[in-house]
Amino acid sequence: MMISSPRNLALAIQAGGFSLRMGRDKALLPFGGQPLIQHIANRGKSLTNDVLVTTNQVEVYRFLGLPLYPDHLVERGALIGMHTALTAAKRPLVAVIGCDMPFFSPRLLACQARLLIKSRKEAVVPRSREGLEPLHGVYRREPCLRAVHEALELGIRSLGGWLKLLRALEIPEAQIRRLEPDSRIFLNVNTPEDYEQVKALADVSPPPGPRPHSEVSWWAGAA
């Protein structure tokens, strides 16, 4: 089922990591009878019809039938992947998620996109108990791409350092839970233990939770 979301929103799935701790390509791990990245792509299609994948293994992911974009910068890392996503996207708003987040929330991303449109910010990023979640963020393409170039010139290579250069709206965890009570949404798969955990949780129904009557009632801090 399609989620109501802005029409000028693209979704970029980041699949450029080396999966060193997993020991094999985590995006291809079986999940729900299909490769994990296929599950994530299908989930993403409920948010927008403009889904792309950033990867340096184009032939490996050809089966997805989606636009695939390799990095053009020589360096490697999460910020380089963000550069690729923002460069490749054709729409002015870009949601970015990791290829190893099976429970990411299209509903939350859609609301992040609407908040971004209403605000004067350049990014809307949730904060979980683990910290900021830039790979569940929504970004204004042009200013965020300029900030990537600025970060690289300053020697910044982390997403956290890059975010400090942006006018970013952070969504605290308490507000996230009002809209999206599923505590699994930021779980990712880095190790074999993580993989076993998400497989075990896949059959668990998310808890019911309160729903806001409007976006204004959910979040009033978007100025």
Q: Where are the domains of the chain?
A: 9-199
Q: Determine which helix (DSSP H) or strand (DSSP E) holds 144, and give its type and residue range.
A: helix 141-153
Distance CA 101, CA 95 (A): 14
Query: How sure is the predictor about 196, in pLDDT bands with cuts at 50, 70 and 90?
Result: very high
pTM: 0.91
Q: Model confidence over 201-215: pLDDT tens digits?
A: 988 766 665 454 445
Check pLDDT > 90 for residue 111. Answer: yes
Above pLDDT 70, what percent of the chain?
Answer: 88
Query: How sure is the predictor about 45, in pLDDT bands with cuts at 50, 70 and 90?
Result: very high
Query: How sure is the predictor about 112, in pLDDT bands with cuts at 50, 70 and 90?
Result: very high
Check pLDDT > 60 for residue 222. Answer: no
Is the model more confident about 104 or about 177?
Answer: 104
Which three-class secondary structure state does DSSP give residue 127? strand
Closest CA to 185 of 108, 96, 103: 103
Give the pLDDT score at 21: 63
Distance CA 80, CA 56 (A): 11
**42-46, 94-98, 193-197, 200-204: lowest mean pLDDT where?**
200-204
Distance CA 13, CA 76 (A): 16
Distance CA 165, CA 87 (A): 18
Maximum separation of any 2 CA atoms in the chain, in Å: 47
How many degrees, rounded to 5, is the angle at CA 78 between CA 75 and CA 84? 70
CATH dotted code for 9-199: 3.90.550.10
